[in-house]
Structure 1
Amino acid sequence: MDALRDNAQRAPLADAVLDLRWDAWGHGAASVSTALRPLGLQAVRADPATVADLAELGIRVVDARAHADDLVDARQLYGLAGATTPVMRMSGTVLGTKVLRRGEGVSYGYRYRAPQDTRVALISGGYGQGVVRALGGVAEVSIAGRACPILGRVAMDVCVVDIGDAAVTRGETVWFFGDETEGHPSLREWSRVTGMDVAELTAAVGAHARRIIE
């Protein structure tokens, strides 16, 4: 939550209203509130299901329509726009690698067929964890700093990526998105290629992937 607190320093919270709908855009309403309470957070807009938990933390839930001018820019707070640092990162793991020969297909329906011999990796993370199906064939992941295109359709819990001649081994960390300064793909690129808002994308990941608070 260090990135969240750093981003919050740019927006005084004492007299502001924070948008915690959609479980704080997938970041976890209770976690975000706990992290920002010492910085003066007092009022939020939230989902009905989280109101009781927030009340226990001493956070007041308000009707944001009556406080439109006081709303904190959620995209800046969560690091989804401008120069702020992304708060959410998503990673998976290399489950295995194999050679893919020219003409061979991968994933559902073999919609992708290799134009030439290459190597691919099966990685954990699919639409069951919030990696939306629209990313198949148009987005990339990062493995050891190398961009690896997602091939074919995204499956429920896995997807296949092209690793070429990279020395990728089982168990390596795969970054779906995160901090661009650390070589991670950008969630804004997910938004561009899918046409979905970053709030939709982070909420989907937050609701389905295993969330680890750091």
Structure 2
Amino acid sequence: MRDLWPAAASIDLDAIAHNVRVLRERAGGAALMAVVKADAYGHGLVPAARAALAGGASVLGVAQPTEALALREAGVEAPVLCWLVPHGADLTPLVAADVQVAAAAPWVLDALVTASRAAGRPAVTQLKADTGLARNGAYALPLAAGGATDWSDLVTHAARLESTGLLEVVGLFSHLARADEPGHPSVRAQQDAFAAAVDEAERAGLRPAVRHLSNSAATLTEPTAVWDMVRPGLAVYGLSPVPQLASAAELGLRPAMRVTATVALAKRIRAGQGVSYGHTYAPRQESTVIDVPLGYADGIPRHASGVAPVQVHGRRFTLSGRVCMDQVVVDVGDLEVAAGDQVVLFGAGDDREPTAQDWAEAVGTISYEIVTRFGPRVPRVYQGVGA
């Protein structure tokens, strides 16, 4: 069936393992949680998780319960933290599978205790503090009105439930809002707020084994934020979380994803011929255009129309005209191209091929979005450790 695939995302698992080793070195001996949410940022949940563990990750992080259970069903036995659970959900499968469930509110702890009784084993949790991101997490900053914070209520409730033997609090964590802006005052302020939140939890009687705050950017640029463990995501896959400061190569990272497609059709068109929907592009002279069977249904942003780079036979070109649902067109001038030839959308940047960061800059987004957009119509082909 492989010869029926018009495109593929090749995933270098050795690159993922390498990146984890680099990040562990930057963390100075702290443990590392590899974030594999969102299908491992589009790289494939289970293969990427195994590669990260081979590189020295000791914990895996996911957003959704289905991701955590998929890891367990695949035989992955490493500790897994899941940080988003829907209100009212039965958490018994997670507790039975020994998945650590993050709690940002007392109702999560109550649901975990209920699940503990049903599963016949203690539920394991990590408490999440909101230290200034104002997203998920129990708000740990005092309000003008004074009184107890959400975090105060959470840690008090957790300590009470832990005393029953049905719940075990193994970690405390928070998330930085502007770690990709090293030196921004909010980074220091959130570190101080997290330290205060940890102190309060310990005064409530909790004794967590790990405390973690650092995402990819902080792991690479903010050594004071390391604590017991770091929690990188994007950098695990070889992309720079601070591209305005340093490229992936300058950080010692290797991009793991390379997206290619085969030319479906090559043909000459006359000067002035409008290309693709709306005729937003037309060549100034007679030219060869190629049809590439990838579109916005596969993950190419429609706003990549006319701006995103590709490489054909070692030369760079730009998407010509609008991105369609299943196809894009590229004007390659007088280059000799035939059906079946390879087009590189992005990769590691070797031999001047475009990178995901090049796409992000062309489209006006971040590399996170570029790699995670590619859906199941683009099969993943694995190479390297465990492939």
- TM exceeding 0.5: yes
Tell me by how many angstroms 1:207 deviates.
4.6
The range that moved more, 138-147 or 115-124, is: 115-124
Contact 2:20–2:236 at 8 Å: present in 1 too? yes
The within-5 A match list for 1:145-164 is 145-164=314-333
Structure 1 vs Structure 2: percent identity of aligned residues? 31
The within-5 A match list for 1:21-170 is 21-46=37-62, 47-55=64-72, 56-62=75-81, 63=102, 65=128, 66=173, 67-69=212-214, 70-81=229-240, 82-83=248-249, 84-170=253-339
Aligned residues: 214
Q: 1:162 to 1:104 in 2, by over 3 A?
A: same
Distance 1:127 1:206 in 2: 10
Distance 2:336 2:272 in 1: 23
Distance 1:206 1:79 in 2: 19
Larger Rg: 2
Contact 2:288–2:331 at 8 Å: present in 1 too? yes
Counterpart of 1:187 (choices 348, 356, 361) is: 356
Contact 1:176–1:185 at 8 Å: present in 2 too? yes
The alignment partner of 2:319 has SS state of strand
The alignment partner of 1:68 has SS state of strand
Tell me by how many angstroms 1:174 deviates.
0.5
Distance 1:210 1:170 in 2: 20
Tell me by how many angstroms 1:165 deviates.
1.2
Segments of structure 1 that go 5 or more residues without pairing to the other structure are: none
Distance 1:166 1:28 in 2: 35
The alignment partner of 2:256 has SS state of coil
Distance 1:186 1:94 in 2: 20
Tell me by how many angstroms 1:119 deviates.
1.3
Q: What residue in structure 1 maps to residue 189 of structure 2?
A: none
Distance 2:30 2:380 in 1: 28
Contact 2:60–2:80 at 8 Å: present in 1 too? yes
The alignment partner of 2:263 has SS state of strand
Per-residue displacement from partner, 1:142-198 (whole Å, max 9, x unpaired)?
011011221101111111001111111110111000021233211101111222221
Counterpart of 1:5 (choices 17, 35, 40) is: 17
Contact 1:24–1:32 at 8 Å: present in 2 too? yes
The alignment partner of 2:239 has SS state of coil
Tell me by how many angstroms 1:96 deviates.
1.4
The range that moved more, 163-172 or 179-188, is: 179-188
The range that moved more, 88-97 or 38-47, is: 38-47
The range that moved more, 113-122 or 7-16, is: 7-16
Contact 1:90–1:175 at 8 Å: present in 2 too? yes
Per-residue displacement from partner, 1:76-105 (whole Å, max 9, x unpaired)?
321112211110110011111111212111
Distance 1:29 1:203 in 2: 12
Tell me by how many angstroms 1:5 deviates.
1.6
Q: What residue in structure 1 maps to residue 192 of structure 2?
A: none
Contact 1:111–1:153 at 8 Å: present in 2 too? yes
Tell me by how many angstroms 1:107 deviates.
0.8
TM-score by length of 1: 0.91
The alignment partner of 2:380 has SS state of coil
